[in-house]
Structure 1
């Protein structure tokens, strides 16, 4: 994570320094998620100590695939994505992480930060930046699934309406890979629910289980789908079903 991203997080009041024992380095990253309310506090502290003091990683957060694609969209939660990539790769050291970044997400996170943390292909969701044309085949590299993290309201609506006016949207419209949406929706109303339900009729599309988070605006509690650990669990289920031929279009 570069200095610019850390500075942005500090300015948004979502970065809190950790003051604990020998696990300060890992725990400091974990506290970013704790303050934002998207990681269970007790479990996070236990995971930090396990990761630092033991060579055997807890099964929590283990990804069953060999490669994953993260599509980052324009929610303030995008500012926390570098930390979550760090967390994911710390647990899944041999997994290739690819990423695409929407234009609106670049307001909250830099491509340089994502490039520095990923070990696969990273591209902006623009026609002139997605130089590899794997997305035309519905994937990047050999990804086993696509996780939209966070999935903004605009992204969910565009996917539901069949829009394909960017490389990442085209990739998700034509893919046969599982798609997991980590929804960051400000509200739910009848229109949003209508289009969301249409999108979820695709057998390969599902959502990460909601967790209670803290709104960046007024600090009130609210359910959010910005839940990468939960998305990994859903991805593992869908990857298994795909391999067994139970999930497809």
Structure 2
């Protein structure tokens, strides 16, 4: 059984359309990251033609291992640090060029702030700053996170970017206080639906023709908090 306040992916969640074949998944240090192997398995079943590459921050490694994600995804999982060994390709350039869509799931307060302020001190951040593909962000916040003036300002900056969509977090039970005052990331299927909708809008703006997108049902409750 899951610990109080921990979201468990529902296998019955509807599968939204997603017209991409390469998805970059960035995981940051929220307790919600513990469920990423289950979401990874859901992605493999829901989108058989989709290739997912994962990048995890050092803080995310407190809650999920790269080995677990690599096994479920069937592809490499990178640590979000600059490699020590020299390489012909710059990691951030390779990631940005490879991805057809990016999701930050879950996204901590700290990562959201760095992304919004234009910081680029890790490969995943620099790739996110330089890409123009749809980028979905799923905040996971502690009690008081959504009403923080700093958080609201950061979200406003991100939403001003044409390729970024911020999935609204859902009310959750805090594992620290035991009260329903924390904020869990939007369930991944609902974030992907928003990412696909943004992809369609970007394609139409670029003159690639009309498309369709299904936003799916309203978000289901979950639970997590940003450490």
The TM tier, using the shorter chain, reads 0.7 to 0.9
Separation in structure 1 between the aligned mates of residue 84 and residue 68 of structure 2, nearest angstrom: 16
2:213 maps to none
In structure 2, the CA distance between the partners of 1:203 and 1:181, relative to structure 1 (3 Å rule), is: same
Q: Which has the higher contact order (CA 8 A, sep 6+)?
A: 2
In structure 2, the CA distance between the partners of 1:121 and 1:240, relative to structure 1 (3 Å rule), is: farther
Summarize the alignment of residues 62-81 of structure 1 with structure 2, pairs less than 5 Å apart: 62-81=17-36
Could you tell me how far 1:224 is from its partner in structure 2? 2.9
Separation in structure 2 between the aligned mates of residue 209 and residue 61 of structure 1, nearest angstrom: 17
Give the count of matched residue pairs: 201
In structure 2, the CA distance between the partners of 1:203 and 1:214, relative to structure 1 (3 Å rule), is: same
**Does 1:173 pair with 2:129?**
yes
5+ residue gaps, structure 1: 1-9, 15-34, 49-58
Could you tell me how far 1:109 is from its partner in structure 2? 0.8
> Please, what is the CA RMSD of the aligned residues?
2.6
**Does 1:163 pair with 2:119?**
yes
Residue by residue over 1:18-54, the C-alpha shift from the partner in whole angstroms, topping out at 9 and shown as x without a partner, is xxxxxxxxxxxxxxxxx73465xxxx36x28xxxxxx
Alignment equivalent of 1:203, drawn from 150, 158, 162: 162
Higher helix share: 1
Alignment equivalent of 1:237, drawn from 178, 189, 197: 197
Alignment equivalent of 1:146, drawn from 102, 108, 132: 102
How high is the TM-score relative to the length of structure 2? 0.78
In structure 2, the CA distance between the partners of 1:85 and 1:140, relative to structure 1 (3 Å rule), is: farther
5+ residue gaps, structure 2: 208-227
Moved more, 110-119 or 94-103: 110-119
| SS, match of residue 154 in structure 1 | helix
Could you tell me how far 1:216 is from its partner in structure 2? 2.2
Greater Rg over alpha carbons, structure: 1
Alignment equivalent of 2:93, drawn from 136, 139, 154: 136
Separation in structure 2 between the aligned mates of residue 196 and residue 60 of structure 1, nearest angstrom: 26
In structure 2, the CA distance between the partners of 1:164 and 1:72, relative to structure 1 (3 Å rule), is: same
Runs of 4+ off more than 6 Å:
none
1:228 maps to 188
